Every structure is written in structure tokens, then in C-alpha cells.
Chains A and B, each alone.
Chain A
């Protein structure tokens, strides 16, 4: 056991992080939300997907970033490079691609006047071109959005000139997880839920285990190591410039359910894909501002999840959850994966319910601040980073 069940160890490790109350206003203030659009979501690298969603030339997907009122077209060019563009025809501003995903049939054609663009974003054809006035087609390619890829995760940045590369921004997270076998795992399942909650209300509620034995007592309350059989404790916390990770160990005293026990016993595969750089059984990374990356160990291979919390308004967000597993070799492995997905899904459905109840409580302004203990240090850290970024005008 690597977990030390001692009190207040994380604030001792990171004495620079505060211990006082955290304001609730950022989760309920419309004015704060308007500033977040500019200062957070238009200035930082945002994860919009993975390269395996667009494995071959011409494949694309579209993400609607409502918080920035931007539609992003992410496409793999014939040169194999992944690029992001505003999903807008530069002729008269029409929305270019209407499908959520697909394969570019050679050209992206605008539905308005049939201007046509290559998967690399160049303007290739203009109907009745001779009737324009000195039209320089090289000036009217799709408007590019900064796009960089780390370990298969696609990030975009809406700032005209990002102040850091993606690599610099990820910092210690990238160092920790470079060369991990993410690409050997495939997207198996996605869940999406529109919540009546501020995006941070959802993210904060996920960013700790203190609640686990209580809110999830019917589902996964005993899955992780407990102090005195009662309280969850992290085995490690690392804080980075913008990001953080907490880790925990599975509970050896966990009592598996009958189907769970059988499936664990029958879960076998020849390949055994592992994250060598896992810190503990379960690592939960917050990648600022709105992404979480979760690494799990499983009986016949590791797996990972991502969360993306997309703000829709001050009190609404879209929570996307994606599960990536090693491709199942046999039914035993597939059923075990499905059981794990379902178990976590039910827990996340409890969370989604809770997020809305928390938002309702915060919106009532009954409390002006939140009180947090040592196992909630990564939430504190996130709010400190947020405040710091919001202060940069």
C-alpha cells in the first residue's frame, strides 16, 4: 500500500495553495461567465477530440464551441496532417460543413454558392470566377485555427497568437505521460449529457474522492482504499502550472458482485496493454480548463477516459465522457469492458443528478463560499489557476 492515511498531507506538500474558503460567485455569475468566454476559452488550448476519430485522409469532425460561438472543423489532410478551421465559407460567411462527422469527398463544397475547399483548407474552385474583381483565391482559404496534437489528443487554441505551444502549456502532464500507449486503445463508448449546471460545478464535483463513499454508496462506494474503512484518501497529488493529478488505490477489501466477480475471472487477453507511467491504480488528471483524463488499471489491460465540460451558458453545460479500451480480443474481455463501462456510467449518472442539485443550491446564494478539506486541494488549485487567468487582461 502506497497510500499514507495521514491528515493534511497535501497542503504540507503544496504549502503555496490556500486553505481558506473558495467563492461560489464564479459558478453563478452571468458577468463572470461572459469574461470566461474571452479570458479562458478563447485563450487556452482546448481538447476537441482524438486523432483516431479521423484515422485517414479526408476524415473530419465538427465541434460546436458554443461558449465561443465558434464551429470548428477538424480534418486530416491528404498530407496526413490534422488541421482545424473555422467551419465557415470565407465568401459570404455561410456554415460550410453541416454533418457532425464524415469523409470529405475530395472537396468541401459550400451549400450557398458551391465554393469548394481542399481538406488542407485551400480554396480550389469558385463558380463563375471570371465575374469577380481580381479575386486572389490564395487569400480565401478556410480560416485556420491553431491546432496541435499531443499523444493523439487534438487541441485547438482560438487566440490569434497562442502565448505557449501546446507542449509548453501541458508542461508536467506531458512529461509524465509522454509515450503512453493511448493510441493502442480505441474509443468504445461516448456518453453526452446536457446539465443544468455551470461547467465548473460539474468539473469540481468530479475533482475529488471525498464524496465517493457517501454519494456513491449504492454503486462504487467501496472501490477505493478507505481510511478506517470509511474515508477515501489519495495516494498521491501532483500540482502543475495549470493542471493537476490525484491518484488512488483500489480497495482490496472491495466485495465484488456476482456478475462482476465472474467477469473479472473470465477477463483474459493475449495482449496486455499497460500505462507504464500510471502513478497508482487510478489517476485523475485535470487538464486546464475543462478536460479530465482518467487512467485506470483493469484485469486484462489498462484503459482511459476523457471528460470534456463545455459551457453552454452560466448554468448549463454539455458533459462529454469517452471510454477508450484495448480492442476486445474475445467475448470474455468485451463483456468485462461493458460491465466496467456500465458500473461507471451509473456512477456518472448519479454525478449528473448531483451537479444539478449543487447548481440549484449555489444559485440560491445561500452560501457565498465553499469550505474545502485537504482531499479537495486540486479543486482549490483549479480555482486559483482560474482566478489568476481571469486577472490577465
Chain B
């Protein structure tokens, strides 16, 4: 497929391209909107490749990332966003936290 959005070596992650989101607000919204079993599946696939992703993307200075590399980086940022849900809270909604929509990020 010539329309791949990710670097050649990471085309197997193409089914998760919807997680490639450039802002924290978008990543939080996606986290909240996604059923837990899908979050767990995404976590499993991406975290297994995380070390390879970092080694691959570390060849570029952070401020000079090619577009497909940036999309892969944004996908890894989504993994960071949801990793605690799967690894710690085991739950999409964390107990006793203020409502996410009131806690507003600015980047």
C-alpha cells in the first residue's frame, strides 16, 4: 500500500493510526471515548514495539522529525497517555479524580 502513513518498519501498526494524535486534549478525548478492551489491545501492540519505535525515531533530532515519524511519535504519546490505565488503574475511569474536562491542558 503506497498510502502508508507510518515509516516502513512500523506498517503493522497502521490499524491503530487513529491513536496518532498531536495534542494532549485529543489524546485524552480518545482515551475516554475508547472501550477498555480496545485500550488494552492498543497498549499490548504498541508497548511491544515501543523500544523499537524509540530506537528508530532517535535517529532524528526531535525538532526535525519527518511527517511519518511524527505520526509514529504521536502514536507513542498516546501509549504514554493510556499506559497507567492498563498497568496501574486497570480501569478507564480513575477513582477520586476531578472530572477531566475541568483539568485543562495547554501546550
Which residues of chain B in 72-107 are interfacial with respect to chain A, using CB atoms and an 8 Å cutoff? Answer: 73, 76-77, 79-81, 83-84, 87-89, 94-98, 100, 102-107
Check A191/B80 contact, CB under 8 A, given A219-B88, A266-B51: no
B61 within 8 A of A: yes
Q: Indicate which residue in A193, A195, A257, A349 contacts B88 across the interface (CB closer than 8 Å).
A: A257
A338 to B23, alpha carbons, bound, how many Å? 12
A346 to B93, alpha carbons, bound, how many Å? 11
- Contact check, A190 vs B105: say whether CB atoms are below 8 A apart: yes
Q: Indicate which residue in A331, A343, A356 contacts B73 across the interface (CB closer than 8 Å).
A: A331
Among B5-13, B14-22, B34-42, B52-60, the stretch that binds chain A is B52-60
Check A346/B94 contact, CB under 8 A, given A190-B106, A259-B79: yes
Residues of A within 8 A of B107 (CB): 188-190
Residues of B within 8 A of A266 (CB): 51, 54-55
Check A350/B77 contact, CB under 8 A, given A218-B88, A259-B50, A335-B54: no
Which residues of chain A in 17-59 are interfacial with respect to chain B, using CB atoms and an 8 Å cutoff? Answer: none
User: Which interface residue of A259, A327, A335 has the most chain B CB atoms within 10 A?
Assistant: A259
A195 to B96, alpha carbons, bound, how many Å? 15
- Contact check, A192 vs B104: say whether CB atoms are below 8 A apart: yes
A352 to B62, alpha carbons, bound, how many Å? 33
Check A354/B96 contact, CB under 8 A, given A189-B24, A262-B50, A266-B54: yes
Residues of A within 8 A of B54 (CB): 266, 331-332, 335
- Contact check, B51 vs A189: say whether CB atoms are below 8 A apart: no
Check A330/B51 contact, CB under 8 A, given A190-B106, A259-B79, A353-B97: no
- Contact check, A346 vs B62: say whether CB atoms are below 8 A apart: no
**Which residue of the partner chain A has the closest CB to B90?**
A218
A142 to B94, alpha carbons, bound, how many Å? 48
How many chain B residues touch the partner (CB < 8 A)? 37
A327 to B63, alpha carbons, bound, how many Å? 9
Main secondary structure of the interface of B (DSSP, over half): helix
B26–chain A nearest beta-carbon distance, Å: 14
**Which residue of the partner chain B has the closest CB to A348?**
B103
- Contact check, B62 vs A328: say whether CB atoms are below 8 A apart: yes
A387 within 8 A of B: no
B47 within 8 A of A: yes
**Which residue of the partner chain A has the closest CB to B65?**
A331
Which residues of chain A in 283-310 are interfacial with respect to chain B, using CB atoms and an 8 Å cutoff? Answer: none
Q: Indicate which residue in A191, A334, A348 contacts B104 across the interface (CB closer than 8 Å).
A: A191
A162 to B60, alpha carbons, bound, how many Å? 50
Residues of A within 8 A of B65 (CB): 331
Which residues of chain A in 159-210 are interfacial with respect to chain B, using CB atoms and an 8 Å cutoff? Answer: 188-195
- Contact check, A346 vs B97: say whether CB atoms are below 8 A apart: yes
A188 to B80, alpha carbons, bound, how many Å? 16
Q: Indicate which residue in A219, A263, A330, A345 contacts B62 across the interface (CB closer than 8 Å).
A: A330
A347–chain B nearest beta-carbon distance, Å: 9
- Contact check, B89 vs A352: say whether CB atoms are below 8 A apart: no
A260 to B87, alpha carbons, bound, how many Å? 10
Residues of B within 8 A of A354 (CB): 96
Residues of A within 8 A of B102 (CB): 193-194, 352
Q: Indicate which residue in B24, B53, B98 contacts A193 across the interface (CB closer than 8 Å).
A: B98
Check A349/B97 contact, CB under 8 A, given A331-B57, A335-B54: yes
A339 within 8 A of B: yes
Check A331/B58 contact, CB under 8 A, given A193-B102, A218-B88, A338-B80: yes
Q: Please name 14 pairs of A and B residues whose Cβ atoms are closer than 8 Å in the assembled complex, sorted by A.
A: A190-B107, A193-B98, A194-B102, A257-B84, A257-B88, A262-B50, A328-B62, A335-B77, A339-B80, A349-B103, A350-B98, A352-B97, A352-B98, A353-B97
User: Ordered nearest first, which 4 A-B pairs have the shortest CB separation?
Assistant: A331-B57, A259-B83, A352-B98, A349-B97
Interface residues of A (CB under 8 A from B): 188-195, 218-219, 257-260, 262-263, 266, 327-335, 338-339, 342-343, 345-346, 348-350, 352-354, 356
